[in-house]
Chain A
Amino acid sequence: DTAVSQTPKYLVTQMGNDKSIKCEQNLGHDTMYWYKQDSKKFLKIMFSYNNKELIINETVPNRFSPKSPDKAHLNLHINSLELGDSAVYFCASSPRVAGATDTQYFGPGTRLTVL
C-alpha cells in the first residue's frame, strides 16, 4: 500500500496555464507538506498544513495555492505557470505538528515541465 501518493507523476504544460497536483496520505498523519526540488536537486519547503490549518508558508509566489480538504489530502494549485516553475514537487507527511522531531514520509514526486 502506498503511504503518500501523488498524481500526476508527470505534468507537461504551456506557460500561462493553471494546473493542480494532488496528494493523499493513508498514514493517519496530522501534518502534510509541499516541497520543491529544482534542477540542481535543492529541496525546499513551500507549505505545511497541520490538520487542515496552514502552518508554514514560505516566500512562495501567490500563484501557488495549497488546499487541504481534510487532513489526509493536500493539493497544490498553480496559476499562470511560468518557465521557472519547472521542477519536481514532493508531497510529504509526518505524524505530529510541524516542528516535532518526526520522520517525514515523502511521496514519489510530480515532475512539472513548463514549455
Chain B
Amino acid sequence: GENVEQHPSTLSVQEGDSAVIKCTYSDSASNYFPWYKQELGKGPQLIIDIRSNVGEKKDQRIAVTLNKTAKHFSLHITETQPEDSAVYFCAVMDTGRRALTFGSGTRLQVQP
C-alpha cells in the first residue's frame, strides 16, 4: 500500500512569513494529492489539491507543487496570518485501495 511521509511535524513562523510543508509518497501510480487543514475540534477541510497531470497549482496565498519523478509534493503558504494556525495534512489517493492515505500532520503556529 501507499506510504506517505510528512515533514516537519511542527512549524512556527512569524506573521507575514512563508511556510512550507513537504510530503513524499511511495506509489508512482498515485494520481491525486490533496491538502487538508484541521482546526481544533473540527474535521479536516480541503484547502487545495493537485492531480498528476500538473506540476503546480495556486489559490491566492496557497500553492502546491508536485514532482512526480521524485514522488514528493509541497504546500506553500505565503504571507501567513494567525488564522492559518492549524494542523495540516497531506494525502495521497492510493489507487489500489481506492482510499486516501494521510501524512502524519504538521502543526503550524503563526506568531502575531
Q: Give me the interface of A with B, judged by CB distance under 8 Å.
A: 4, 33, 40-45, 48, 55-56, 58, 90, 92, 97-99, 101, 103-109
Contacts and interface: CB of A to CB of B under 8 A. Distances in A.
Nearest to A48: B99
The interface residues of chain B, by DSSP majority, are classed as strand
A90 B44 contact: yes
29 contacts: A40-B104, A41-B38, A41-B104, A41-B105, A42-B102, A42-B105, A43-B44, A43-B105, A45-B97, A45-B99, A45-B100, A48-B98, A48-B99, A56-B98, A56-B99, A90-B43, A92-B43, A98-B98, A99-B93, A101-B32, A104-B34, A104-B100, A105-B46, A106-B43, A106-B45, A107-B43, A108-B43, A109-B42, A109-B43
B102 A43 contact: yes
Contacts of A103: 34, 46, 49
Nearest to B95: A99
B25 interface: no
Interface in B20-43: 31-32, 34, 36, 38, 41-43
